[in-house]
């Protein structure tokens, strides 16, 4: 009865969007991103959150992705999330011009587009599919609270927290020629793909793109499905 009473109380709070059973939290990026950079298990315990994590040794040495642009084909990235949020752009998110525009002043995105979608459609997709946010956060996420100088806010940052993101939509949002042109225009030299899809279908397309765009690195996930 007490649980039911609590749930009914929470349901009446307008800001609550989702209620679920409690699950014991465990760290993911706090471990994997540090391990990727050092290949060791020299764990530290954050004094504020009490989470165990690994130092981002490359970031600590100044390799943070500064001035790099990472291109992603992915499900919609949650631009309200603290890893990508930019307060100066909050109002602009609700306008159609946001969907296909350069965003050179945004702290995380240089470009964000969804094919034939409006802002309400994007919000619905973001609420259903968080994979794009997960991938983008792992690669280049940087917590908006990082300036608080508290380690608790930075242990989940991505591998290259100072890199920016060229979000090209889903894998069918641009053809290879348009993508190659936009990547060159925005000086993006890394193209990351982490699909749960049979990418062999696109092998010839991206092999050709790799040949034509020889100063760019094209990366596909291995084992995302099988």
Burial 22-37 (b: 16+ CB within 10 A, else e): eeeeebebbbebbeeb
pLDDT recorded at residue 226: 47
pTM of the full structure: 0.78
pLDDT exceeds cutoff 50 at 80:
yes
67 phi and psi, to 5 degrees?
Answer: 75, 5
111 phi and psi, to 5 degrees?
Answer: -160, 140
192 phi and psi, to 5 degrees?
Answer: -105, 135
Determine whether 220 is exposed, middle or buried from the number of CB atoms within 10 Å of its CB (0-12, 13-18, 19+).
middle
Residues 206 and 174: their CA atoms lie apart, in Å, by 13
Arithmetic mean of pLDDT over the chain: 82
User: Which tens digits make up the pLDDT trace of 152-166?
Assistant: 677 889 999 999 999
The first and second tokens of residue 187, run together, are: 């000086």
End-to-end CA distance of the chain: 44
User: Which tens digits make up the pLDDT trace of 58-77?
Assistant: 998 999 999 999 999 998 89
pLDDT recorded at residue 208: 85
pLDDT exceeds cutoff 60 at 17:
yes
User: Which tens digits make up the pLDDT trace of 127-154?
Assistant: 888 889 999 999 999 988 765 555 567 7
């Amino acid at each position: 009865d007490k649980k039911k009473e609590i749930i009914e109380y929470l349901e009446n709070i307008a800001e609550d969007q989702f209620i679920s059973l409690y699950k014991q939290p465990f760290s993911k990026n706090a471990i994997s991103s540090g391990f990727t950079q050092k290949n060791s298990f020299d764990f530290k315990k954050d004094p504020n959150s009490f989470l165990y994590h690994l130092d981002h040794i490359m970031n600590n040495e100044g390799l943070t992705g500064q001035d790099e642009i990472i291109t992603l084909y992915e499900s919609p990235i949650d631009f309200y999330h603290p890893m990508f949020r930019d307060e100066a752009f909050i109002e602009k998110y609700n306008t159609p011009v946001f969907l296909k525009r350069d965003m050179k002043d945004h702290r995380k995105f240089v470009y964000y587009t969804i094919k034939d979608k409006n802002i309400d459609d994007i919000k619905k997709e973001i609420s259903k599919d968080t994979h794009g946010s997960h991938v983008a956060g792992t690669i280049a996420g940087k917590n908006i609270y990082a300036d608080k100088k508290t380690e608790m806010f930075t242990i989940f940052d991505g591998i290259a927290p100072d890199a920016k993101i060229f979000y090209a939509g889903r894998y069918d949002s641009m053809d290879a020629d348009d993508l190659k042109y936009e990547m060159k225009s925005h000086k993006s030299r890394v193209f990351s793909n982490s699909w749960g899809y049979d990418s062999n279908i696109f092998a010839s397309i991206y092999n050709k793109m790799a040949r034509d765009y020889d100063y760019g690195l094209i990366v596909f996930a291995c084992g995302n499905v099988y």
